[in-house]
Amino acid sequence: MNPLNKIIFLSAFLASGFLLILLSCALFNNYKPLWVIFIFLVAPLPNILANTIESTRDDFLTFSNDHGSNPSQLQELCKYITGTLIVSGVSLPIVFYHCHLIEVGSMLMSIIGGLIVYVDIIIFIWFFSEEEEENDDFNF
């Protein structure tokens, strides 16, 4: 798939998620579900930072950054933080609904919109983190 097509598809997908969250706020005249945008935008950051740190770190005396299949403690902590943020992003509108701060439609639209935003970010990272072909002789 052409990278330009990927970007166009993902931007339309992301816009639909933001639209759902903003409509959940505007249609019900309550702007508390905007916190969902912030939570789902921050959720993948710990994993990205941990993978960046672990990929550049060398083992002592071996100068090898091949850690095998065992994740480090930093990666495990970042997975935990990401999981906590995802659960918080889904549960925050439920708590708002339970406290009668938002209505059912606003809760459902903000949860679905937040999940669309998070999935879009993950797909974007997955699409553009693929390693280039090593067998290509004309790869400059």
Please give the chain's pLDDT, 140 residues, in tens: 788 888 899 999 999 999 999 999 999 999 999 999 999 999 999 998 988 888 776 555 555 555 556 778 888 999 999 999 999 999 999 999 999 999 999 999 999 999 999 999 999 988 887 654 455 555 54
Global pTM value: 0.79
Q: How far apart are CA 129 and CA 32, in angstroms?
A: 34
Among the listed residues 49, 18, 15, the one whose alpha carbon sits nearest the alpha carbon of residue 113: 18
Q: Is residue 63 part of a domain?
A: no
Q: Is residue 45 part of a domain?
A: yes
Q: Which residue has the tokens 């097509």?
A: 5
Domain hosting 24: range is 3-58+71-128
Q: Is residue 122 part of a domain?
A: yes
Among the listed residues 6, 18, 8, the one whose alpha carbon sits nearest the alpha carbon of residue 116: 18
Q: Is residue 64 part of a domain?
A: no
Joined together, the tokens standing for residue 123 give 């797909």
Q: Is residue 139 part of a domain?
A: no
